[in-house]
Chains A and B, each alone.
Chain A
């Protein structure tokens, strides 16, 4: 069954994204993990949306998730850039004070 294959791939992608977010120490790689998790959610929505060809609610939701992901990536990378200017590093374990 094709749909259950896609759902299992999405579950695996979500788990890998979660592991990337927790394991990695570089801020940009953590952002990549968040993108992987968003893609897994999109895959679920699209997999169920092909049985709803008249309204396509899942695909509309996916479209808005894409927009929010683009906005999130832009703002997060701007913040990472400021963190790098201030601390001269983007390793998350070493950014450990609010007031320097």
Chain B
């Protein structure tokens, strides 16, 4: 299945050129939406929930970075003429995959997309692995809580304590006093899983527990489990269980 892409760029010529020149299918991608400003981009992203967003920074209505901040975007590539340090810092904080400076050759953009696709595939393999190895039954994912590593045990404890907050790799690394890259590498090494996938899996488990309370709707559950939006929650959920939370709840709720 091809990964979906939304492309946001205000200059029409550039938009047309990228849309036509990049060999989307060959890269295993599908361009599902193109927007000319930040507001339209946000609407499209929320509606289409793409795997990848490619965006400029300077955009009408809303700049690319705040657009990314307000949407559940997993992977983003920035295309910009600006080398402003504050922009770059913000982009890094948002977990942007690459920051390409205009003029960008199509080859450069394609290279960046290739490595991003590889990364997403790796993450998917993680999810599959979790699903294959740690799924005892249909209702939860089994996640080991203890590893023979003090740092990782502390990182897991951090997830257990803070999953309901808006936290990520950066906060965990700060909390433990190690660098993000070190924690990321070590986590993968020790647990065989990506830190973010582990966190998401833990959150999904918690959300399944919360579903048993009939008074809570899906949106409330998403927020209480630390997901930024219900749409993003739904997307992650589907990745693990193959169906949306609503469908899952229906099945769960129907008398067996």
Chains A and B belong together in one complex: no
Residues of B within 8 A of A (CB): none
